[in-house]
Amino acid sequence: MTEQNNSQQGIRFLVIAAALVIIIIGINQAQSVLVSFLVAVFLAMLGTPPVLWLERKRIPSVVAVLIVVTGMITVLLIVGAIVGASINSFYTELPVYQTRLQEQFSAFQSFLASKGIRGMDKVLLGFVNPGAVMSLTARLLAGLGSALSNIVLILLTVAFILFEASSFPVKLRAVLGDPQKAFPQFTRFVGDIERYMVIKTLISLATGILIGIWLSILGVDFPILWGFLAFLLNYVPNVGSTIAAIPAVLLALIQLGIGSAVMATAGYMAVNFILDNVIETRLMGRRLGLSTLVVFLSLIFWGSLLGPVGMVLCIPLTMTLKFACENNKGTQWIAVLLGPEVPAESIPRVSKKRTGPET
């Protein structure tokens, strides 16, 4: 009987593993459609609070959705025009910057050779290739632009999601046959996701504005572009702020010299420390319910699966996966592994049996 149970468990594990592989391959093949849908859901989460606020002001639901979607279109058009012009100019000047960077690197190599240090150029290029960083930045911006190429379809999807947002709980209660049914866990989960997205967006917006202003004061080219990149990559946990800083600091080094590059680095560090580590931590109140390792691995997993959009939305996607695992007894152990460290006092203790006679 034991061998039969072990065999059944092994077969079940193989079936689940095969199903996961098929699902991952399917997601990868349908990447373009899923990316557009995820961007629409992201925008809908940002648009739901103002829609509900307008409805509380006795504005009809259709009018409220149209106002919010019109506002989104206006913002996207303005930002797209300004940032698009900066991206085109950056593409035009990119060969010039790469040439200057190569000249400065050759000068640095000659300086090291004059001091009797040889072979350091290969070591430096092995760890950091500045030209590759600038090219990677250009490809990243191009990838994000292609993700937003279906903007009309995305905005239509956003509008339909917002139309259904207020009526979805009523429909769910009708399906379950209980008009008074409450969904505290689901409501709390949706609230946590919306709270995270709104706070993260406001913090990212402040980060982008401050970085753009600081680089403009220093005289670095394309401050709007680098501010937009800082805003966008601030959604990426752990490494996003560092990735956003590298091309701007390199450009400051190429254009203005090492002093301005140091000042640009100091500005990035100050803004990210104050906004991310101080203000965002206080506004979030509690942690995301994910371990640090899981956050980093989710960044790699969703980024490789869905591209730049997967990196930006890795935290909400992982939180959704954790919520789904929490509400299934067979997968609750996965939710525990995805979560933070379990406090020692929450672990049930096994009481020791008394072996001696009672007195």
Give me the residue spans of the domains in the chain: 13-171
Query: CA-to-CA distance for 197 and 315, rounded, in angstroms?
Result: 10
pLDDT at 344: 46
- In this prediction, residue 211 carries a pLDDT of 93
Encoded tokens for 105: 């690197």
pLDDT tens readout for residues 231-242? 988 888 777 888
pLDDT for residue 136: 59
Nearest to 207 by CA among 174, 233, 179, 230: 230
Distances (CA, A) of 131 to 239, 247, 340: 20, 10, 39
pLDDT at 207: 92
| The predicted structure's pLDDT at residue 210 | 94
| pLDDT for 348 | 47
Compute CA distances 109 → 103, 117, 181, whole Å.
Answer: 10, 9, 71
pLDDT for 214 equals 93
Query: pTM for this structure?
Result: 0.71
CA distance 319 to 17: 21
Is the distance from CB of 224 to CB of 212 less than 8 angstroms? Answer: yes
Q: Please give the average pLDDT of every successive group of 10 residues along the chain, which has 359 residues.
A: 63 72 73 78 83 85 87 83 77 76 71 64 52 58 59 81 71 58 66 80 91 92 88 81 85 85 92 83 63 79 80 81 74 72 49 48
pLDDT 10s digits, 177-199: 555 555 666 677 777 777 788 88
194/179 Cα distance (integer angstroms)? 25
Residue 196 has a CB neighbour count (10 Å cut-off) of: 16
